[in-house]
Amino acid sequence: MNERQQMINLLTGVQSSKKSYYTELKKMVAELKKKNMQLEIINDITKSFNIDMSMDDMLKNTFDKLREIFPIKRISLSLYENDKLTLTNVYPFHSLYFPIGFTLPKERSIYWKVIQSLQKLFYQVQEKEESYVESAVYRELGINSVLLVPLISKGQVIGVLSIGSSEIVRYDEADLSFFQQFGDQLAVCIENARLYREVLVSKKEWEETFRAVSEMILVVDLEGRILRYNDAAKEFFQIGGSPHTRNICELLAIEQNENPIMENVATQKPVYRRFHIQQRICDFHSYPVFNENQSIYAVIIYINDITEKLQIEAQLVQSGKLAAIGEMAAGIAHELNNPLTAILGNAQLLLRSFPKEGRSSTLLSDIYSCGKRCKAIIQNLLTFARQDEYRFADCSINDAVEQVLGLIRDQIQKQNIVIQVNLDHSVEWVEGNLQQIGQIVLNLLINAKDALEEREGAEKVIAIETKTIVEHGSKWVTLSVKDNGIGIDKQHLQEIFNPFFTTKRPGKGTGLGLSVSLGIAQAHGGTIEAISERGKGSEFILKLPAKR
Amino acid sequence: MNIHKFMMPEIIFGNGSIQQVGESCLRLGATNVLIVSDPGVIAAGWLDVVIQSCKQAGLKYTTFSDITINPKDEEVEKGCRVYMEHECDSIIGVGGGSSIDVAKAIAILATNGGQIQSYEGVDKIHHPLPPQVMVATTAGSGSEVSQFSVIVDTKKQKKMTIISRSLIPDIAIIDPETLVTKSAELTGATGMDVLTHGIEAYVSLAATPLTDVQAKNAISLVAEYLRPSVASKMNREAKTNMAMASLQSGLAFSNAILGAVHAMSHAVGGKYNLLHGDVNSILLPHVMEYNLLANPKKFADIALFLGMDIRGMSHMEAGRRAIEYVKQLTADIGAPQRLSSIGVEEEEMKKMSLMALHDACMITNPRDVTAEDIEEIFRRAW
């Protein structure tokens, strides 16, 4: 009967009323608000990766928003790596029990349980319960229920999120699925941030490497526009401001049609060239860079300034050669000295026993003076060949000229070349090595002679002049060697000092003379200048600082 | 029972009140109305009147009228699709019980979704329904003021009764003028339905003083005006009073619920496509005979309301007189008096009895009933 009465009550609706749209609307608005907030949270997490927000800020942000829809009190994040579970972030910051960085023990840990089961877990904190190490933490912090969400990224568990509340929260299906989504998003974010950092570090390493290389490295596009460059390139080419407006052809001082990048594009292979850039000799390598479609989109250029290396090489060759000649000369001189002593001694004895005005006496005098000359030549040869003694001392450039002329004057004059010597006898002293300076003079004279050799007709003249000049407030000693030979092409004038550069026939020149000479001049604090015009002649001026 | 509850919609009653339907919807915030009617209503021209009123109020509207006498779940689902497709936001039901019950059922699905079967029973509706304005064009069903909707489950071949406070329409419009178009047969059937509502509500276990007043008035009005109403379409006084009788019986049974007559007639209606009023009027005297024992005083009251002189009679005696009166009234208006005469088959009775036993209306029946009892009543009425 009671049941029937209940049914009647149901039918007549004593305990029910018509549904109201107002309450329905309120419920719906509340639900929408919750949904919106949830979306906002998910959205925030997705966004924050882009703006590189720290995990602490991110937790704070989401915590504030979560609080508007769930009565939560604390949120903590522990990350799992290398079989270790570490507490990494907690918000609010003061709700700490274990310190940040604390490694959670595997035994009796509810966090570990979640990591191992990969399942969400709702845990209601019981009084005086000690089944988990975390229980005490929650009691201490006044947390009565916790929702634990595993963070899973690409099928791998990377941590656990703990959402604590002072109340016993009743999460419904929709809430749980939101938290799963929240956890998944967070996991993706954490993973992405980690990968991003990794990429950033390795990118930085490569950039540092790129910068640290002492050779020049540039990246250019197919038009030759400079995209990137390292410090060495920046210094050498004086690149600054907006490098994109500069072109590799402009830097190399070449025409567009000589552009090696075009060869890269055509052959799809690396290209090697040697360029003279800003009076330096550079090895040029360019490597094509391919994109996923296997088409070239850029070229890496590697430039190595080998000027110094070549100069050293040249000097080594030259001094090796000189050393060999010197040794040989010393040996020959020694061998010749004894017979010469005998020739000179005997000629002297014979001269005494013959009347002065007689044919024999004249012949003997000739023998004697020629022997004397031989001895002088041998002496000069010995002095010159002693290249190993590069001691600096006060010396006169005039002496160097005399010494060299003593060696090769005859040779030059035999070619019908007039040598005009105009030495300033009051020329200042220089501090240097007489043999080395002599070597410069020798090289300049040989070059002048060779230039005249190829010339037909007219009088061939080599003019040698020494003097002291004042430039920029300091005194310089100069030696000018001037010829009226064939001259030098304008385009070669820049290159004549480069090692191994020569216009002479093979076997005649090594291309070392001028480069070694310049090297010596620079070692003495001086320079060599060249003035030349094709068909008219050349003048080389050695400038050395005068001794103070 | 110490605690009562009485619920009713806003009611607009009177000749020409049908014109108010558009304005009424507008007041409820409607902008796009689904108007549910049936072919009979359309033929009588009442749908046009409603459309006109909606147009005047500046409402957008869509019509739906694929409805049979005992409305089916499929029709409800179809109506709901129309509601959704046209993005309606309110419902008007124009017609008798069928149109209004379908309108209510569409309202349920519109905001609660799912299938209408899942709302069968008491208080199964969880979300508020769209604004509903019901225009009753037949005196009888009371559906325009009730918390009921009866829909046929075509698979189970059974009427489902949906009961919920939310089914009480927001506004009910009763315009007696709409009754003039009804045929004598329909007037008779619906009139007997009104009487059944009044009597069942009055003797119901859930009757309260508030429902008793309504039931009493309804019974008296039927006794006085049903005969003239059946007799002439032009008798305005009779029509107006029958409309009032229908309204009051509706208010009575909506709050006091019904009894065995309705439980049984639901079972018959689920199987046969018959006029609800006809089945009720056949069953009513037999159920009254059975129920007399449960509350002779109330049955004696009924005889009084019917205008009989019961002075000096015992309650039982007076009650029997009331039963005779009902039988006589049925005969007078020419309504069918035997189930066999309207095509109900004897072999279905057992099944229908079981079905009736579990009908919600049976709960408030004053006398305890078993399946055998019901079968016995069916046989007497056959």
Residue A547 lies in a domain: yes
Domain harbouring A95, CATH code: 3.30.450.40
Q: Summarize the confidence of residues A64-87 as an average pLDDT.
A: 87
Neighbours of B270 (CB within 10 A): 22
Dihedral angle computed from the Cα positions of residues A205, A207, A208 and A213, in that order, rounded to the nearest 10 degrees: 120
pLDDT of residue A150: 92
Q: Is residue A64 domain-shared with residue A176, that is, in the same domain? A: yes
Q: What is the full DSSP assignment across A61-113?
A: HHHHHHHHHS---EEEEEEEETTEEEEEEEESTT--SSPTTPBPPSTT-HHHH
Put simply, whether A28 touches B (Cβ < 8 Å) is no
Range in A369-378, A396-405, B35-44, B273-282 with the lowest mean pLDDT: A369-378
Q: Write the class of the CATH domain B182-381.
A: mainly alpha
Q: Is residue A80 domain-shared with residue A46, that is, in the same domain? A: yes
pLDDT of residue A353: 85
Query: Considering A166, A197, A228, which residue would you say is the last residue of a domain?
Result: A197
Query: Considering A305, A333, A364, which residue would you say is the last residue of a domain?
Result: A305
A65 contact partners, CB below 8 Å, separation of at least 6:
A37, A40, A41, A44
Whether the per-residue pLDDT at B235 is higher than 80: the answer is yes
Q: Summarize the confidence of residues A214-224 as an average pLDDT.
A: 87
Q: Summarize the confidence of residues A389-416 as an average pLDDT.
A: 85
Residue for token digits 């942000």?
Answer: A61
Q: What is the DSSP letter of A300?
A: E
Burial class (CB in 10 A: 0-12, 13-18, 19+), A456: exposed
- Nearest by CB: A12 against B125, B168, B206: B206
pLDDT of residue B2: 67
Range in A148-152, A317-321, A334-338 with the lowest mean pLDDT: A317-321
Q: Is residue A252 domain-shared with residue A132, that is, in the same domain? A: no
Q: Is residue A384 domain-shared with residue A396, that is, in the same domain? A: no
Whether the per-residue pLDDT at A181 is higher than 90: the answer is no
- Nearest by CB: B166 against A10, A12, A18: A18
Question: Tell me: the pLDDT tens digits for A29-41?
Answer: 988 888 888 888 8
| Nearest-Cα residue of chain A relative to residue B3 | A14
Whether the per-residue pLDDT at A1 is higher than 70: the answer is no
Q: How far apart are CA B246 and CA B214, in angstroms?
A: 10
Whether the per-residue pLDDT at A499 is higher than 90: the answer is no
Paired with A146 in beta bridges are A123, A164
Encoded tokens for B72: 């089916």
- Reported as a pLDDT band with limits 50, 70 and 90, residue A324 is confident
pLDDT of residue A196: 83
Name the phi and psi angles at A226, rounded to 5. Answer: -80, 125
Domain harbouring A242, CATH code: 3.30.450.20
Q: Is residue A88 domain-shared with residue A184, that is, in the same domain? A: yes
Whether the per-residue pLDDT at A403 is higher than 80: the answer is yes
Dihedral angle computed from the Cα positions of residues A239, A241, A247 and A249, in that order, rounded to the nearest 10 degrees: -30
- Reported as a pLDDT band with limits 50, 70 and 90, residue A51 is low
* Percent of chain B's residues with pLDDT above 90: 62
- Reported as a pLDDT band with limits 50, 70 and 90, residue B30 is very high
Residue A122 lies in a domain: yes
Question: Tell me: the pLDDT tens digits for A257-294?
Answer: 888 888 888 888 899 988 888 778 889 999 999 988 88
Query: A10, B122: Cβ pair inside 8 Å?
Result: yes
pLDDT of residue A383: 64
Q: Summarize the confidence of residues A487-514 as an average pLDDT.
A: 77
Question: Tell me: the pLDDT tens digits for A126-177?
Answer: 777 677 888 888 888 888 889 999 998 888 888 999 999 988 888 888 888 8
Question: Tell me: the pLDDT tens digits for B121-147?
Answer: 888 898 899 999 999 887 556 788 888
Q: Is residue A278 domain-shared with residue A338, that is, in the same domain? A: no
More confident residue, A174 or A315: A174
Pairing state between β B121-122 and B171-174: unpaired
Residue for token digits 């070669």?
Answer: A492
Residue A4 lies in a domain: no
- Segment B310-314 long-range contacts (CB within 8 Å, at least 24 positions apart): none
Q: How far apart are CA B115 and CA A9, in angstroms?
A: 26
Query: B165, A17: Cβ pair inside 8 Å?
Result: yes
| Nearest-Cα residue of chain A relative to residue B208 | A12
Residue A312 lies in a domain: no
Q: Is residue A34 domain-shared with residue A142, that is, in the same domain? A: yes
Of A3, A6, A9, A18, which to mutate for an interface test with B (greatest number of B Cβ within 10 Å)? A18
Question: Tell me: the pLDDT tens digits for B91-110?
Answer: 999 988 889 999 999 999 99
Residue A12 lies in a domain: no
Q: Are A124 and A138 in contact (CB under 8 A)?
A: no
Average pLDDT over chain B, rounded to whole? 90
pLDDT of residue B139: 59
Put simply, whether A18 touches B (Cβ < 8 Å) is yes
Residue A311 lies in a domain: no
Which residues of chain A does B163 touch, with a Cβ-Cβ cutoff of 8 Å? 11
Q: Are A174 and A33 in contact (CB under 8 A)?
A: no
Whether the per-residue pLDDT at A414 is higher than 80: the answer is yes
- Residue B184's SS3 state is helix
Paired with A533 in beta bridges are A537
Whether the per-residue pLDDT at B327 is higher than 70: the answer is yes
Q: Is residue A288 domain-shared with residue A432, that is, in the same domain? A: no
Residue A7 lies in a domain: no
Q: Do domains B10-178 and B182-381 have the same CATH topology?
A: no
CATH of range B10-178; options 1.10.1130.10, 3.40.50.2300, 3.40.50.1970, 3.30.420.10: 3.40.50.1970
- Reported as a pLDDT band with limits 50, 70 and 90, residue B278 is confident
Q: Tell me the one-letter amino acid at A186.
A: L
Give me Rg for the CA atoms of chain A.
47
CA distances from B165 to A11, A262, B126, B162, B278 (A): 9, 87, 11, 10, 28
Q: How far apart are CA A166 and CA A125, in angstroms?
A: 10
Domain boundaries, chain B: 10-178, 182-381
Put simply, whether B165 touches A (Cβ < 8 Å) is yes
Query: A19, B129: Cβ pair inside 8 Å?
Result: yes
Query: A12, B256: Cβ pair inside 8 Å?
Result: yes
State the angle between helix axes of B315-333 and B276-291 in degrees (0 to 180), rounded to the nearest 10.
160
- Reported as a pLDDT band with limits 50, 70 and 90, residue B223 is very high
- The residue range of the domain holding A137 is 30-197
Q: Is residue A76 domain-shared with residue A159, that is, in the same domain? A: yes
Encoded tokens for B165: 């406070």
Put simply, whether B368 touches A (Cβ < 8 Å) is no
Residue A356 lies in a domain: yes
Put simply, whether A1 touches B (Cβ < 8 Å) is no
For chain A, the domain total comes to 4
Residue length of chain B: 382
- Nearest by CB: A8 against B129, B164, B364: B364
Paired with B319 in beta bridges are none
